[in-house]
Amino acid sequence: MSASSPVPVVWTGVLRKMRVVDGDPVAYYLKDATIGAPPVADHGLTPHVGAPVWLRFTGEIRCTLCGRATKKTFNDGYCFPCLQSRAEADICIVKPELCHHGQPDHPCRDEEFAQTQCFQPHVLYVSLTSGMKVGITRRVNLPSRWIDQGAVAAMALAVLPDRRAVGLLEKRLSDEGFADRTHWTRMLKGDPPAADLAPFADRVAQRLSAWATPGLLPAAERVVRTFRYPVRQWPEKVTSFNLDKTPEAGGVLQGIKGQYLIFAEGVINLRKYSGYRLEVRAGDPDPGSR
């Protein structure tokens, strides 16, 4: 099977990270990042698991913040001028403990962004992705944040009033030896047992309690959420497609987890290619995938 096979085009657009919907299994949708024109409708990918799916990079890249043409993207599909100027691309988004809001000599890039995005309730959580980890996100981003990371189980532990406060707490836990990263290759080799999360969550909660952490949720509200992904077969060896070197990628879609498409020939992190204009061809799944 090859990209030249008669597989129909189902979607063409400027890629942004896939939209996810919690379900059994999780549902995934291609989402368009076009700016300055009506976006292309979302297209469901989950029904195509078990069928051929091909991606073709057209050579066009657009900034997902301003829409300008660019030769290279940064972060979630940002051009270099936006990387240097937009609040969405500031260092404190990646390292919230470095928030510089209110510093006269280093003011926030966008006060409105700070108030609507950063000074909102944030959650400190634990999750099971490639292994146990702690993480943070805005409360409104749950459970999509967990799904984007490929978590098979997750639990909210504390709610804090802003991003800097929760970021400082995450950094303190990291300094204490609690992991805050996901090993993506390990995450794509299978699902660890979800039951393993509760003892880890208890250890983190005990540490937060010892620190008298404000916003620590009562034990009754610390509930494990579990997720099942549409995966038929895990890769024995994880190798990545690179659209910058080879503009076509795909084959029979074996599954989707996190923001990764899993093919027999390799995997691809679609979020990495945010801003790339893609043409997607997909066949109908066989009856066994429905």
pTM across the whole model: 0.93
Q: In this predicted structure, what is the pLDDT of residue 220?
A: 95
Evaluate whether 288 touches 51 at the Cβ level (below 8 Å).
no
Complete edge-to-edge strand list for the sheet that includes strand 122-128: 132-138, 122-128, 153-160, 225-226
Q: In this predicted structure, what is the pLDDT of residue 195?
A: 82
Whole-angstrom CA distances from 134 to 43, 72, 126, 156, 269 are 32, 31, 4, 10, 22
Q: In this predicted structure, what is the pLDDT of residue 192?
A: 87
Looking only at the bridges linking them, the beta strands covering 248-257 and 52-61 are: antiparallel
Q: How far apart are CA 34 and CA 206, in angstroms?
A: 46
Q: In this predicted structure, what is the pLDDT of residue 287?
A: 44
Q: In this predicted structure, what is the pLDDT of residue 194?
A: 84
Low-confidence ranges of the chain (pLDDT < 70): 1-5, 284-290
Q: Which two tokens stand for residue 182?
A: 């996901």
